[in-house]
């Protein structure tokens, strides 16, 4: 990890859950982080945590709605100016609606796809340009999901069989395919850029906090912690430049399948 000390990372959805854990892990290893999230208050909690833990990396917090092209453009311009380019990109921002597609509306479809897919594509587009312009080693991480590889059986474990995931599985299938697509594009131009897909199983985060059906899910089924995903990011970053970890699936022992 020594070669990443003083380099710059962007983490989306950085204020809580997996994003917060990844941000703290990078700061701990001396990486400077631009932490992006739509929730300003939670970003300020990150500052307090950094100061309390004494992480050596520099932290910049930026409130940004990743579904807004204007806000995303402004955010990247700010990062390029303040932090002189991006070396590590962690696409982590995510959105899920726990309802059936047939009961939902256009606004929900747009929010899920723009958060989970379009923002990933836009951020990769921007950071690849930043990395190539400076001719530096870069690493992109897309936090996908096991639901991007298969569908849960309807009555899996103790999960309420009435719970549905709307376009979330479709969006995660899309980001898995998107990751492979960009990896091939990068391979064709042969820069020093690696790209890793991380597909977690059930992780204890607040993504289900707004759903009455899902609020108590972590009392019913086994789960892993956000720090387990952060460990995977550090592992992949720490491998030799010639080694690309293309896919990591991380689940609780015994989690189906």
- Of the candidates 150, 168, 192, 235, the residue annotated as catalytic is 168
Which of 1-10, 68-77, 246-255 is the least confident region?
246-255
Q: Which domain holds residue 246?
A: 2-250
pLDDT for residue 251 is more than 80:
yes
CATH number reported for the structural domain that contains residue 86 in this entry: 3.40.50.720
Contact in structure between 166 and 101 (CB atoms under 8 Å): yes
Q: Residue 43: inside a domain, yes or no?
A: yes
Q: Residue 257: inside a domain, yes or no?
A: no
176: enclosing H helix or E strand: helix 168-189
pLDDT for residue 235 is more than 60:
yes
Average of per-residue pLDDT across 159-188: 87
Confidence band (pLDDT; 50, 70, 90) for 161? very low
At 116 the pLDDT is: 97
User: pLDDT tens across 20-78, in order?
Assistant: 999 999 999 999 999 999 999 999 999 999 999 999 999 999 999 999 999 999 999 99
Q: Residue 255: inside a domain, yes or no?
A: no
Is 168 in the active site?
A: yes
Domain count, the chain: 1
3-state helix, strand, coil in the chain (%, to 5): 45, 15, 40
Q: CA-to-CA distance for 9 and 78, rounded, in angstroms?
A: 13
Q: Residue 10: inside a domain, yes or no?
A: yes
């Amino acid at each position: 990890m020594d070669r990443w000390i003083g380099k710059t990372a962007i983490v989306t959805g950085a204020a809580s859950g997996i994003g917060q854990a990844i941000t703290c892990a990078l700061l701990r290893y001396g990486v400077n982080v631009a932490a992006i999230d739509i929730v300003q208050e939670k970003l300020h909690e990150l500052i307090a945590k950094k100061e309390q833990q004494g992480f050596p990396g520099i932290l910049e917090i930026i409130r940004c709605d990743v579904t807004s092209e204007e806000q995303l453009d402004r955010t990247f311009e700010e990062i390029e100016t303040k932090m002189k380019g991006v070396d590590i990109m962690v696409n982590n921002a995510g959105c899920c609606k726990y309802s059936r597609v047939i009961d939902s509306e256009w606004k929900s479809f747009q929010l899920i796809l723009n958060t989970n897919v379009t923002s990933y594509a836009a951020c990769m587009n921007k950071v690849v340009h930043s990395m190539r312009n400076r001719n530096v080693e870069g690493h992109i991480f897309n936090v996908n999901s096991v639901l991007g590889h298969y569908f849960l059986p309807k009555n899996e474990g103790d999960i309420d069989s009435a719970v549905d995931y709307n376009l979330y599985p479709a969006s995660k299938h899309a980001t898995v395919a998107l990751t492979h697509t960009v990896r091939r594009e990068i391979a064709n131009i042969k820069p020093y850029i690696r790209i890793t897909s991380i597909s977690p199983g059930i992780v204890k985060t607040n993504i289900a906090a707004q759903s009455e059906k899902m609020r108590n899910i972590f009392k019913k089924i086994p789960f892993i912690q956000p720090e387990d995903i952060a460990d995977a990011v550090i592992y992949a970053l720490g491998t030799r430049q010639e080694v690309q970890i293309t896919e990591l699936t991380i689940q609780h022992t015994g989690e189906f399948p």
